[in-house]
Amino acid sequence: MTTIEPAARIDRDRVAALTERQRAIHRERTAESGRTYERAAAVMPGGVPSAFQTGDPWPIYLDRGEGARVWDVDGNEYVDFHNGFGVMCVGHANPMIAAAVKAQVDRGTHFAAPTEGSITVANELRRRWGLPHWRFTNSGTEATLDAIHLARAAGDRDVIVKIEGTYHGHHDAVMVSVKPPADLMGDRSRPASVPYGLGYPVALTDLTRVVPFNDADALERLLDELEGQVAGVIMEPAMMNVNIVPPVPGYLERVRDLTAVRGITLIFDEVKTGAAVAAGGATELYGVRPDVVCLAKAICGGLPGGAIGMSDPLAELVADGRVRQQGTFNGNPLVMAAAEATLIQVLTDEAYTRLHSANRTLMAGCERVIAEYGLPAHTVGMGSKGCVVFSAEPVREYRDYQTKVHHDLSDLAWLYHMNHGIFMTPGRDEEWTLSVLHTDEDLARYVEVFEAFARDVTAPSP
Ligand SMILES: Cc1ncc(COP(=O)(O)O)c(C=O)c1O
């Protein structure tokens, strides 16, 4: 008997027909979002405050959120697995965060002078990440921007090395080879530095060099070639913008060694992994300590804030003003109140235990469906985050993601989820994020919808 390769069960015409049908349902279900889009697009390019919020055929405009649920302007109720791009591990309108923020509103919302809250939060971040010094920012972009300045100042060198296919915010040094198209990205042994959009001087793009993830030899070769020129290596310890790509065993340790012996600053961008995957983020999970950690998203419980942790010598550059780490709203008391409640009251050790267990349950449910229907897919997850990767083989780097993933299945699964009350990120290359307010029923609902998708996709042709 011949074994059928799982991918052979997928009939492309069937996927296309199902996609067309689900698209029509999606348009109908979200007609009010369509009308809102017309008004919004008249005043905001693309009808959105940020490019990440665009959608096809239009963004889904939300009305409100509570617990693990959100409601859109058409009145559709969803269980939220988007969770504000992984920010809302605390759940929507969490009473503890709300109480902390409301109390601070009554005591003043902004001073641009330091308050006790910033000391408390900095101490908690030190406890979680083990890095001795912290400063605050207003976003992940600002955190990685400051990290690059620190690396360049510390090394008195200019070149930055990043990983092909990662996003670190939208400033010049890192808007390089974020999603490079195959025809521009060059040979794997020497990837090109491809600007991610217009507006970046070539001279700056050229200062950022890229290497594939999970390949310490490639990094070593580049660092040897650029001897004495590289200031910093910036990376997510686990890639989080091409679904989730975990580091292979030993990779992060070698990156740490390769950078340390050359006096290169190692920056872990934990904006996404941060407080979402463990109390001390991926740094704790993998046990490798960088020189700088960048945080944002989940640490502030839904208010806009970020932080940057650093070693003693780097902190000296900041303390004496040689590196200008600054901003009117840094350490804003409302943001600090939300961060304190998030990190100390809500995301406790017990909360992480529950989040990890819920994530395992959800992944196991999806794995059961994958096996039962023979889908060319597997799950990957850590902490509160996980995803179904539509590839029968593991994905180890961006180029794998480009070539091995069935992107049409990702698109169709997205439509099934959205049309059946599961709110997902607009980018299909993202992952789910659970909150402490998701229930077992919410997880079961996700699996139920995923199973409906699997059943329809693999049904025998009539
Ligand atoms: C890994 C990573 N770093 C940095 C950023 C930028 O963060 P922000 O959108 O808060 O500027 C993001 C945003 O998605 C991210 O995923």
Residues 6+ apart with CB under 8 A from 108: 333
Ligand 1 nearest atom to the CA of residue 144, by list position: 4
Q: State the catalytic residue, choosing from 80, 269, 291, 442.
A: 269
Query: Are 248 and 396 in contact, with CB atoms under 8 Å apart?
Result: yes
User: Tell me, what's the pLDDT at 13?
Assistant: 94
Ligand 1 nearest atom to the CA of residue 236, by list position: 1
Average confidence (pLDDT) per 10 residues, the chain, 462 residues: 49 95 98 98 97 95 98 98 97 98 98 98 98 98 98 98 98 98 97 98 98 98 98 98 97 98 98 97 98 98 98 98 98 98 98 98 98 96 97 96 94 97 90 97 98 95 68
Q: Is 269 a catalytic residue?
A: yes
Instruction: Summarize pLDDT for 95-130 with one digit per residue, the tens.
Output: 999 999 999 999 999 999 999 999 999 999 999 999
User: Tell me, what's the pLDDT at 426?
Assistant: 87
Instruction: Summarize pLDDT for 334-388 with one digit per residue, the tens.
Output: 999 999 999 999 999 999 999 999 999 999 999 999 999 999 999 999 999 999 9
Q: Is 102 a catalytic residue?
A: no
Residue closest via CA to ligand 1's atom 13 equals: 169
319-328: Cβ within 8 A, 24+ apart: 322/153, 323/146, 323/149, 323/150, 323/153, 324/149, 325/135, 325/146, 325/149, 325/150, 327/137, 327/138, 327/142, 328/112
Residue closest via CA to ligand 1's atom 8 equals: 140
Q: Is 349 a catalytic residue?
A: no
Query: Are 388 and 370 in contact, with CB atoms under 8 Å apart?
Result: yes
